[in-house]
Structure 1
Amino acid sequence: MERWGRVAGIAEHERQQQVLRLLDVDGRVSVADLVHRFGVTAVTIRKDLEVLERRQLLARVRGGAVSADGADEGAFEMRLRHGTQAKAAIARAAAALVPDGAAIALDCSTTCYHLAQELRGRRNLIVVTNGLRAAELLSDSGVTVVLPGGTLRRSSWSVVGDFGDFVGSRGRLAMGFFGVRGLSREHGLMELTVEETTVKRRLAAACNEVYALFDSSKVGRFALHSFAPSQRITALYTDEGADPDALAGFAEVGVAVHRVPVAHAHTTTGTSA
């Protein structure tokens, strides 16, 4: 954990976000390490962990905390603040693929939220999405928004669950855009939870073209469930920080790989898509 360095004198909210970022990478934090890192008392750190546990973003254990079941993706609002330059650049590149009048799918990822911002005002566009924030953003911009049924998941502001053939029975979508928890040549695009995987698998199956949008922190990251095999992927869009060697396997099976330039990429701290 020392690779993160010591950060003293930061505000409570930012300190708690740093704790969640550490958990996202390491899976566990200790009170002693956090006291050293932030230069605050153990009492302060325990209060931070208590606050985050009440929000179901972690689980406290003896001497520290671990990632909480059901909060694997982290809070949407927190993820939206991270890696914004990379995600915005990826979204702009992806938006160039979408013509007026198309019917497309967007998932509930924060990168697709940035894509939704780019698509506001497009003419005669139909967007099928399980992302409530993207739906809200597009709803007053002239875009027709379709939400499948399901159960509200507050941590990602999404609708999850198996909505059957809700999309496929109504015709094909031209293209779909998806964030990922991880990816590999063997398993394609992956998520961590069954609920998110089920929705993305249904949406991807209804799309003629499947595009993955993710910042470079997702390369090599652990995930469990595949929602789109490599042979179904049209292209990957990531930022220039992604290791090209790590993505070479996709190019070998015919998947186009786009590493998008990002202004001031060194200032981004993105860990989630």
Structure 2
Amino acid sequence: YIDADVGITGANFLIAETGSTVIVTNEGNGDLTQSLPPVHIVVASIEKIVPTLEDAATLLRVLARSATGQEMSVYTTFSTGPKRGEDMDGPAAFHVILLDNGRSELLDSRKRDILRCIRCGACMNHCPVYTAVGGHSYGTTYMGPMGAVLSPQFEGLGTAKSLPFASSFCGRCEAVCPMRIPLPDLMREWREDAFRTRMTTRRERWALCGWGWVARRPRLYRVAADLSVRILSRLGRGRGALGYLPFGGGWTRARDFPAPEATSFMAAWRAQQDRQQKGRGDV
């Protein structure tokens, strides 16, 4: 940090009222980066702009609570231009670069709600898909439910088509989002865009049609699910995981697939109900 000629940081918020930038960290590296080098360059996207200091203060409390459960982060630093003559430290030059990268296009679309995201990570912490597969499997800068909405816009739906499909639509991401972003609805819109433009392969469409046909027949669905669980459980016996899964190469290329238990959820539920009924009868 001492020998660097330029320090480059991002910003959690940009305050229009004062021209200040705000970075939020728990390590302090951001402070060193922006205060020790003679030049400080801030690179931030346009949706980080907030009108006033009061708006920034409200969002800072929301950000820390939703991200790490803190009242405030350890370091919350405001920078307003280069150092003045009486200042002991700080950069001699201060530059702010506003990044669009497709964000303005979202303003005229139904997906504009994602621009409210403050990058707290609450949706990722509660997403069953993200917690199971991890961040690297997304292959993009932004991960989890919010990444499944942002990445197709930035990188193109053809490149990030699989991300909106990486959701069970359980709704937990929307429930914990402090900005009330309807993430399942936005992912569904990307799915509809992919289907409308025929980006999904014929095999994927036939697989979905087949699953829908089976799902509409409960008895057949239970038989198929029970049979699949038994087969996968037997294949993973000993290791408790599967190194290869037919039609699941996207998963098993990066990690093993956990082998299921030897019984389906419905079978386990029926067994539990039978035990409860038997217990009541004994009483």
TM-score (norm 2): 0.25
User: Which one has more relative contact order, counting CA pairs under 8 Å at least 6 apart?
Assistant: 1
| Larger CA Rg, structure 1 vs 2 | 2
TM-score (norm 1): 0.26
Higher strand share: 1
